Structure formats: structure tokens, C-alpha cells
């Protein structure tokens, strides 16, 4: 039940480590779906530059994340990987860091690799029945696949993925939205452009559907 | 499309074994935590909570090691609690593969610890666990207070106000256990569950007292919880997670199937 269909790739995969959060989960999920892949959690720019594929994760507050990304030179490392056409998967705050700007922490400029902004769900949200709509948006929600993309291969339309976030991405270019989710409002659950795929949910915590997406990533050639 | 209500099997772990007792006495053995976690993962549980109920310092290394093993084989969120007192305790568990940590007595002793933890690691991974007991009599307005040390020690702190304060301090979620109901199989204390759910802007997990599948539905619909936690009904094979989810869906609860 937890093993996706197909076989994982054997490339080297660098999981970028800038000290924000649990990278063990994403690395062990990759090892599970692609036992032949060489997965490295790394903060070395050389190692990132040499890897065939890159995972750009992140949790926590955006100000701290952006501070560490810039201090460690990962803004350049990620930008170089994007330009080089390497398959890149950004996860959660990794996705948010790719955008132009986030309103978290009083407003933080992000990498600006993808057009769009990061917005707060809001305080004291109410559902239609008058109950609190809880923030963070935490748990399993459905994702509508709005683009036919190799990373969705083998994943049923409207599958549920695990989310945990208080800020969401408002895409600047609707044609880049690969998956849409609804919580209080519609938001971008996945963005895709060329060799870049970025998700708000946690594929490493999303059971079969998430593992399938990670396995698809390990064999993806970086084209939409 | 809507967010699913979560079903969370809970593993109470004592010296490396899953146990479940009635009101924390009469403890029964329910197996190896890694095997139990894998079984729930296969069954489609939405998360797993691991509570180290020994949590003496000698046992801490065992817990970290077990968490590592679970996290490398179970690809759903994992919350770990029990005896967490320092930022270093949290860091070790997150590094071992926990997605969230649950803080209980340390928050009561030092509320600012929750602020520090949320600042350092993000609110999304800080769960505050509250053990509540009803202290009001049958004739007066309901009031619940928090108790520590497995429900033995009163604190005089109002449970609903405390939950709101903890959310304000950065708790990303509240794990609310009724000490009156825990282990009784008489169902959640729906009064305290609803009072807390209505008082906090963050998700609430209802815990303590599940004896049948209708109790899970009641916790969501009447208790207004975002997630329901149960142990013994799953551990001893009375019900499976898919059975619970089908039952809940038939009664109008959004679940992940």
C-alpha cells in the first residue's frame, strides 16, 4: 500500500540543508522509493552544484529561512540549478522562498524565481457554518491537478496530500499552477515551470500519493 | 473539496513497548512500537502520535532511536511527546524524524517555553497537550482545570483559558485529553472539547475515552474537534482505521479514504 508503482531513478539527489526543519523524512522517503539513488542531505554548494537533482525544502518562519538561504549562498545555488535545467523539487517553505515576496514576518523579499506572492490565510476565519476555520491549514486536503505533468503520473485526480501552513501562494502566472487546493480560498498547491516543480504540501508525509510524486521526481527529466 | 478530519492512533510507550492502561493503571501490552506504527500506516491512519510515558532520562535514547526507526518507514506525520523539557529535547526528536512534538508539563511549569519553542522551530511543529478534568459540580457552570503527572496533580488553571493562551504563545495545535474519560471507553468529554475548539484558532485533537466508532463521530460533530485520537480500540483489533473512516464518512464526516 505504501509502495508506489514503477521504479525509482539512480541519480544523485541533493537535499539542501539550511538548518530549517526535519530533512530526515524527505531523505528517507526518497531512499524508500529510489533505493539506488544517492541521496545526500547537504549544505555544501559544490555538492549541490554536482548533484543531478535537487530538493529545496523548508519549514518555519520565512524571515529565518531567507536569512539562512542568503547567508549560505543557496540563493545563487538554486538560481544556478534552475538555469542549468536540473530537475528541482521545492517543498512547503521551499516553494514560498521561490516566490517574489511573502507577507509573513511583516514582509520579506524572497528569491523571485517564480512570479507571485505569499499571503496569510488570516485570523479568526469562519467556515460557512460559523465555526472557526483553523489556521494553520493542517491535514489532508484534495489537490486538483490542473496541468498534465510527469510528476502527477500514477496519482489519481483529487488525491489528498498532507498540508501544514498558515501562508499560501498566490501565483503571478496562472499557467504555472499545476495543482490547486481550496481552504478558505483557492490557492496554488503546486507550481510548475520547465525543470522546476514546487509544492505546498509535504509529499514525504503524504503516504502513497506523496511517495508516488517523489518517485516520479527521481526519474523526471525536467520537462513539463 | 474540503480538509479531512484526521484519525490519529496513539502509541503510549513504556520502556520500549506500546501499552494502554485504564486511567493510567492496569497497563496492557500492545506490542512493538515500530510494528504497531507500520500497521497503522498501512491501514491509512492520518498521523501517528507517540507518547513516551516513562520519559525518564535513561529512556530518552531509546525513544529517539525508536522515533528514527518509525520515521524511516512510516510516511505520514509523526508527533512525539513525553518528558519534553528543553529546546534541545525538541531538536533531537525533530532530527530523529518527528514532525511535531507535544509539550505538556513543561508548558505548565514554564509557559514561555512554548513561545521559545515556536520561535525556534515554528508553530507548525509545536503541539501543546492539555490534560483536563472537570472540577465543577453538577449544579454549576462547567469548568475544567488542567492536571499534570498523569492526572494526579491539580494546577488550578482553567483548561479553556489555558488552551487559548497556549495558542497565543505559538502552539500550532492542541491535544486535549479528558482525564475523566481517558481509558473508560465512555466517549470523549464533549463539553470540554467543544469549549476548547471554540476558544482557539488552531486545530484541536480530541483524546480520552473512545470506546466505539460513534464516539469518533461525536468528537468531530458535537465536540467540533479537527482530529480524533484513539488507542485501545485500534490496538486490540476491535476496529481498524478503515472501518472507522467508513463509519465516519457514512455519517457525514469528511475523511481521507
pLDDT given at position B185: 93
Catalytic residues of A: 92, 202, 204
Averaged pLDDT for residues B183-206? 96
Task: Choose the closest CB to A139 out of B6, B94, B198.
Answer: B6
CB contact under 8 A, A139 and B2: no
Is the pLDDT confidence value at B55 over 60? no
The CATH homologous superfamily of the domain defined by B6-251? Aldolase class I (3.20.20.70)
CB contact under 8 A, B172 and A181: no
Is the pLDDT confidence value at A56 over 80? yes
- A205 closest CA partner among B74, B127, B125, B64: B74
- A20 closest CA partner among B103, B125, B112, B65: B125
Number of helices followed by number of strands (H, E) in chain B: 10, 12
Classify residue B88 as exposed, middle or buried by CB count within 10 Å of its CB (0-12, 13-18, 19+). Answer: exposed
B164: phi then psi, degrees, rounded to nearest 5 = -65, -40
Averaged pLDDT for residues A67-71? 95
Task: Choose the closest CB to B95 out of A1, A24, A183.
Answer: A24
CB contact under 8 A, A138 and B172: yes
CB contact under 8 A, B42 and A144: no
pLDDT given at position B68: 93
pLDDT tens-digit readout, A110-164: 999 999 999 999 988 888 877 889 999 999 999 999 999 999 999 999 999 999 9
Q: What is the pTM of this model?
A: 0.95
- A179 closest CA partner among A104, A95, A64: A95
Which residue segments constitute the domains of chain A, with CATH numbers given?
Answer: 12-219 (3.40.50.880)
Task: Choose the closest CB to B256 out of A131, A160, A181.
Answer: A160
* Closest approach of B249 to chain A, Cα-based (Å): 15
Task: Choose the closest CB to B42 out of A2, A138, A210.
Answer: A2
Whole-angstrom distance, CA of residue A179 vs CA of residue A137:
17
Cβ of B4 under 8 Å from any chain A Cβ? yes
Contact residues, B window 154-213, toward A, CB-based 8 Å cutoff? 172-173, 197-198, 200-204
Classify residue A74 as exposed, middle or buried by CB count within 10 Å of its CB (0-12, 13-18, 19+). Answer: buried
Greater pLDDT, B193 or B120:
B193
pLDDT given at position B57: 61
Whole-angstrom distance, CA of residue B238 vs CA of residue A110:
51
The β-bridge relationship of strands A108-109 and A88-91 is unpaired
Residue A86: half-sphere exposure toward Cβ, Cα within 13 Å: 23
pLDDT given at position A10: 83
Residue A182: half-sphere exposure toward Cβ, Cα within 13 Å: 5
CB contact under 8 A, A132 and B198: yes
CB contact under 8 A, B75 and A131: no
Mutate to test the interface with B, among A24, A57, A142, A165 (most CBs of B within 10 A): A24
Is the pLDDT confidence value at A181 over 60? yes
**CB-CB contact of B110 with B80 (8 Å):** no
- Which residues of chain B have a CB within 8 Å of the CB of A202? 77
CB contact under 8 A, B4 and A164: no
CB contact under 8 A, A205 and B99: yes
Whole-angstrom distance, CA of residue A35 vs CA of residue A29:
10
* Closest approach of A104 to chain B, Cα-based (Å): 12
Catalytic residues of B: 12, 131
Task: Choose the closest CB to B1 out of A139, A141, A207.
Answer: A141
Would you list which residues of chain A are within 8 Å, Cβ to Cβ, of chain B? 1-2, 21-22, 24-25, 28-29, 31-32, 59-61, 123-125, 131-132, 134-142, 144, 158, 160, 162, 164-166, 181-183, 202, 204-207, 210-211
pLDDT given at position A1: 47
- Count CB pairs under 8 A between chains A and B: 118
Averaged pLDDT for residues A3-24? 84
Is the pLDDT confidence value at B21 over 80? no
Average pLDDT over chain A, rounded to whole?
Answer: 94
Domain spans of chain B, in order of start: 6-251
Is the pLDDT confidence value at B59 over 80? no
Cell numbers representing residue A116 in the block: 507571485
ipTM of the complex in this document: 0.93
CB contact under 8 A, A164 and B124: yes
- Which residues of chain B have a CB within 8 Å of the CB of A166? 123-124
Amino acid at each position: 500500500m505504501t509502495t508506489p508503482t514503477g521504479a525509482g531513478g539512480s541519480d544523485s539527489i541533493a537535499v539542501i540543508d539550511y538548518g530549517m526543519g526535519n530533512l530526515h523524512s524527505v531523505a528517507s522517503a526518497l531512499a524508500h522509493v529510489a533505493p539506488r539513488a544517492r541521496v545526500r542531505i547537504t549544505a555544501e554548494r559544490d555538492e549541490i552544484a554536482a548533484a543531478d537533482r535537487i530538493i529545496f525544502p523548508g519549514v518555519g518562519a520565512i524571515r529565518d529561512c531567507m536569512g539562512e538561504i542568503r547567508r549560505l549562498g543557496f540563493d545563487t545555488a538554486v538560481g544556478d540549478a534552475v538555469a542549468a535545467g536540473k530537475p528541482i523539487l521545492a517543498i512547503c517553505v521551499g516553494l514560498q522562498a521561490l516566490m517574489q515576496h511573502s507577507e509573513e514576518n511583516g514582509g520579506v523579499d524572497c528569491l523571485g524565481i517564480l512570479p507571485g506572492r505569499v499571503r496569510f490565510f488570516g485570523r479568526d476565519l469562519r467556515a460557512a457554518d460559523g465555526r472557526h476555520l483553523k489556521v494553520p491549514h493542517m491535514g489532508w486536503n484534495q489537490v486538483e491537478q490542473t496541468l498534465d505533468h510527469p510528476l502527477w503520473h500514477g496519482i489519481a485526480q483529487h488525491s489528498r496530500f498532507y498540508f501544514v501552513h498558515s501562508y499560501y501562494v498566490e501565483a503571478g502566472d496562472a499557467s504555472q499552477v499545476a495543482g490547486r487546493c481550496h481552504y478558505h480560498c483557492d490557492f496554488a498547491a503546486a507550481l510548475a515551470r520547465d525543470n522546476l516543480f514546487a509544492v505546498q504540501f509535504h509529499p514525504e508525509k503524504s503516504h502513497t500519493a506523496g511517495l508516488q510524486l517523489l518517485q516520479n521526481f527521481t526519474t523526471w527529466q525536467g520537462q513539463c | 473539496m474540503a480538509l479531512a478530519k484526521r484519525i490519529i492512533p496513539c502509541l503510549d510507550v513504556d520502556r520500549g513497548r506500546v501499552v494502554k492502561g485504564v486511567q493510567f493503571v492496569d497497563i496492557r501490552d500492545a506490542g512493538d512500537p515500530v510494528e504497531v506504527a507500520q500497521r497503522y500506516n498501512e491501514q491509512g491512519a492520518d498521523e501517528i502520535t507517540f507518547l513516551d510515558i516513562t520519559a525518564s532520562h535513561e529512556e530518552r535514547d531509546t525513544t529517539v532511536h525508536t522515533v528514527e526507526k518509525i520515521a524511516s518507514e512510516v510516511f505520514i506525520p509523526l508527533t512525539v511527546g513525553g518528558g519534553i523539557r528543553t529546546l534541545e529535547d525538541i531538536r533531537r526528536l525533530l532530527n530523529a524524524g518527528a514532525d511535531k512534538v507535544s509539550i505538556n508539563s513543561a508548558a505548565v511549569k514554564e509557559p514561555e517555553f512554548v513561545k521559545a519553542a515556536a520561535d525556534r522551530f515554528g508553530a507548525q511543529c509545536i503541539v501543546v497537550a492539555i490534560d483536563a478534568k472537570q472540577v465543577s459540580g453538577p449544579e454549576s457552570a462547567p469548568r475544567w482545570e488542567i492536571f499534570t503527572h498523569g492526572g494526579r496533580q491539580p494546577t488550578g488553571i482553567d483548561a479553556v483559558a489555558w488552551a487559548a493562551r497556549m495558542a497565543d504563545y505559538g502552539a500550532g495545535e492542541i491535544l486535549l485529553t479528558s482525564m475523566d474519560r481517558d481509558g473508560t471507553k465512555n466517549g470523549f468529554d464533549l463539553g470540554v472539547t467543544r469549549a476548547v475548539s471554540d476558544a482557539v484558532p488552531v486545530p484541536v485533537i480530541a483524546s480520552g475515552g473512545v470506546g466505539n466508532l460513534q464516539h469518533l463521530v461525536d468528537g468531530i460533530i458535537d465536540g467540533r474537534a479537527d482530529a480524533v485520537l484513539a488507542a485501545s480500540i485500534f490496538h486490540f483489533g476491535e476496529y481498524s482505521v478503515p472501518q472507522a473512516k467508513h463509519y465516519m464518512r457514512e455519517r457525514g464526516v469528511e475523511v481521507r479514504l
